[in-house]
A and B are shown apart, each in its own frame.
Chain A
Amino acid sequence: MAEALPLMVTANRLTDGAVVYLTHSGDWSERPAASSVAGTREEHAHLLDTARQRGALAAVIEPTAVPITSLDRPQPASLRERIRRHGPTVRPDLARA
């Protein structure tokens, strides 16, 4: 199903389950950055192609495209994804930077 744009691709790392974001260089980063954002369908396809070529998909589970609020800020749009990004809201001591 086509996700709303702009978007990022997120997943959980296979070895430890950590939340990660796909970058255009085909790496997984623990923090979403400008280099994680796909503003167009083509950019999304490019993200996934690079990841496939670099074998990056094998390093994660449940890769999913998630909408973000704006092109400039790679902040997930949904509450669920914001909680995944920052950690449980009830444990600020465990928050992810």
Chain B
Amino acid sequence: MYAYDHYDQHMVDRRVAEFRDQVSRRLEGRLSEDEFRPLRLLNGLYLQLHAYMLRVAIPYGTLSTRQLRALADIADRYDRGYGHFTTRQNLQFNWVKLVEVPDILAALAGVQMHAIQTSGNVIRNVTADHFAGIAANEAEDPRFVAEAIRQWSTFHPEFSFLPRKFKIAVTGADEDRAAIAFHDIGIRIRRDDAGLPIYDIHVGGGMGRTPALAVLIRRGLAEADLFGYLAAILRVYNRHGRRDNIYRARIKILVAALGAEAFTRDVEQEWIAARADDQGIPEAELARIRSMFAGPELPPAAVTPEKFSAPAFNAWIATNVHPHRHPGYAIVTISLKPIGGIPGDANSDQMRAIAAIADAHSRGEVRVSHEQNLILPYVRRSALPEVWRALGETGLATANAGLVTDIIACPGLDYCSLANARSIPIAQRISERFATISQQHDIGPMKIKISGCINACGHHHAGHIGILGVDRKGEEHYQVLIGGSGDENAAIGEITGPGFSAATVVDAVERIIAAYLDLRRPGETFLAAVRRLGTAPFKERVYAAA
């Protein structure tokens, strides 16, 4: 794992002291709210419906158990005993007090964490494949690039006042678990014929009001050119991005307006022109960062799991345990989606229990996935029964990863000041409707994603079934989308037609799933069936009974 050096620590400590001063000036009335708001947002501090919300960065979703325990302690001491893991691999505390935020930031800095780059028109916390470094078919651990981008972009004067927020995701695997097509920049690392890492650069993806899939503008960029090329993209964006209209300001709009070809030409020109002056990150520094992601030495381990006959254990193995690049080891998904629960929430006891399990069985490391689950990256297969039992003791052994009840939901109108409608109760009701394990397995791979407004924090455009909360004359109303996907075959979901009330939207989801069960070929997943048949037969069924 990456460990802060003197500079990292100094920067973060200095930021805490600076914010402490800003908070006290605000409390004394020497700063107005208009003056203070941008300063607090630079430190991840929002005002939500009920209180301030602090968004803590979890760079590329990697946490040490020490950090996880610190988050649990913060939840108990300064919040209400829980936190919410987000689709950006971050953690949100929902009830912090302004007067205590400097102390929270100091506690975070004590474990090499912060809330920088979690808000504002900057390069946001860079996300990465949650199976980074452990997936079987990976060219390179993408976290090394994500960390290098973090260091390069943090407080970068040229990129601190972008037209709009800017999100970068990195993957090093063929299977895209980082949803790179839905990011402002998506980076895929591959290896060239000589075995050297090369980078494919995708630009202009995003969700929100105008969903777009990123376009591949550069294939096989050499490592030495990566940062010069990223800088060129950001410069073109800085120069031409629409600062006059918040809805037109994302880079996806610029790419669409100029056309991918013209946009790429501008980027290449900028890149070539600046190449002589801009050397990017020194090779030695990249090597230093890379070396920190070598991963732990894993001693050989028995390849087969212990015999264990409990059906519940076997169901959990089938969905929540994934192949590891080291034989004898497994990747475990800890579902934060108990049936009827709040997607992504974990209380402090659960955080501590997970930390203890990760210390005993996963080299003291935990990951956060953009699907709002946690990952144990280094579990010996022989320890799986013990891990399962221990998780079960704190309600964390739900066997549903990748199934219909593993739902992404944003905080929605229960917490968020921008929301039109609630997301969480819809997720809870769908989860309860499909609670039976055999039914979930019968339905197979299914990603339901719910957002409480067009900002799409719940990734509804990328859901196999997506749900978007809208406000219809003061009532909660829901549009339903089908056929979206955030993986290597990314697609934007298609709206089925007229929306549904809160009372009827779960029935609509059930009808879509029933249509799939009727129409599928043997072994065909929901998404494959939608791609084969188109959305028409599903739409027909959705509205037939309405």
Contacts and interface: CB of A to CB of B under 8 A. Distances in A.
Interface stretch (B44-52, B379-387, B489-497): B44-52
Nearest to A78: B474
Contacts of A58: 29
A17 B51 contact: yes
Nearest to B51: A17
| Interface SS of B by simple majority | mixed
Interface string A80-97: 100110011111001000
Interface stretch (B95-103, B151-159, B308-316, B516-524): B95-103
B422 interface: yes
B98 A16 contact: yes
Contact of B51 (A18, A62, A91): A18
Interface in A45-69: 58, 61-62
Interface in B76-106: 80, 95-99
A16 B425 contact: no
**Range class of the A interface residue count:** 20 to 34
Nearest to A94: B80
Specify which of A19, A61, A78 lies most central, judged by the most chain B CB atoms within 10 Å of its CB. A61
A16 B422 contact: no
Given A17-B97, A61-B33, A61-B47, A83 B413 contact: yes
A48 B47 CA distance: 22
B49 A83 contact: yes
A12 B33 contact: no
A79 interface: yes
A80 B476 CA distance: 10
Contacts of A89: 414, 422, 425
B342 interface: yes
Contact of A16 (B26, B99, B419, B474): B99
Contact of A90 (B47, B96, B414): B414
Contacts of A14: 26-27, 33, 98
Interface of B: 26-27, 29, 33, 47-52, 80, 95-99, 342, 413-415, 419, 422, 424-425, 428, 474-476
Interface of A: 12, 14-19, 58, 61-62, 78-80, 83-84, 87-91, 94
8 contacts: A15-B97, A17-B47, A17-B51, A19-B51, A58-B29, A83-B49, A87-B50, A90-B424
